[in-house]
């Protein structure tokens, strides 16, 4: 039995409505994914900004520990400050903040290290770190502050 003109119009309208619904559903799914990505990005950005604000405080604490007078080295108060840095390191590690290696002899990497001094008289083929001057950090593998180092050749 042939379909009536009215029935054909209704089927066409149903197909168009179905396609519109599918497009709307796909658009909404894309929107939801984009919002999720933006939310995660904002969270990371806030985390990075907060950590970046703490870095000078961490530097000061480390500097204070480095210059503890020898007569106070065994003092319980001084020992508790040293213990504080260990707790701070654990907390930063939990945030996936890693210290950039600036050990003597480590290969110089301009993506992680900033050479602020260079031993011009040294001879060798490879640039290596002679001394770490300021700690650098990576957050989730991305440098947020380069380590300041003195470079020599080996």
Q: What is the dihedral of CA 82, 129, 149, 47, to 10 degrees?
A: -60
| Distance, CA of 147 to CA of 138 (rounded, Å) | 10
pLDDT digits (tens, 9 = 90+) for 11-22: 999 999 999 999
Q: For residue 1, what pLDDT is reported?
A: 60
Burial of residue 55 (CB within 10 Å: 0-12, 13-18, 19+) is middle
Cβ–Cβ under 8 Å, residues 112 and 148: no
pLDDT digits (tens, 9 = 90+) for 114-132: 999 988 887 888 899 999 9
Q: For residue 114, what pLDDT is reported?
A: 94
Cβ–Cβ under 8 Å, residues 154 and 140: no
Q: Return the bridge partners of 107, or none.
A: 128
State whether the Cα torsion 15-19-22-24 is positive or negative.
Answer: negative
Domains of the chain in sequence order = 97-154 (2.30.22.10)
Please check the confidence at residue 81 and state whether its pLDDT lies above 90. no
Q: For residue 37, what pLDDT is reported?
A: 96
pLDDT digits (tens, 9 = 90+) for 22-79: 999 999 999 999 999 999 999 989 988 999 899 999 899 888 888 888 888 888 988 8
| Higher per-residue confidence, 6 vs 122 | 6
């Amino acid at each position: 039995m042939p379909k009536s003109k009215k029935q054909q119009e209704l089927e066409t309208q149903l197909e168009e409505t179905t396609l519109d619904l599918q497009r709307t559903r796909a658009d909404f799914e894309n929107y939801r994914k984009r919002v999720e990505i933006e939310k995660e990005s904002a969270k990371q950005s806030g985390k990075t900004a907060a950590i970046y604000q703490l870095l000078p405080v961490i530097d000061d604490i480390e500097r204070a520990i480095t210059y503890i007078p020898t007569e106070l080295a065994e003092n319980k108060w001084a020992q508790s400050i040293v213990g504080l840095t260990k707790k701070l390191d654990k907390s930063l590690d939990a945030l996936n903040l890693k210290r950039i290696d600036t050990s003597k002899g480590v290969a110089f990497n301009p993506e992680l290290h900033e050479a602020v001094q260079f031993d011009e008289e040294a001879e060798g083929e490879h640039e290596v770190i002679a001394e770490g001057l300021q700690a650098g950090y990576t957050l989730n593998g991305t440098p947020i502050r380069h380590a300041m180092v003195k470079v020599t050749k080996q």
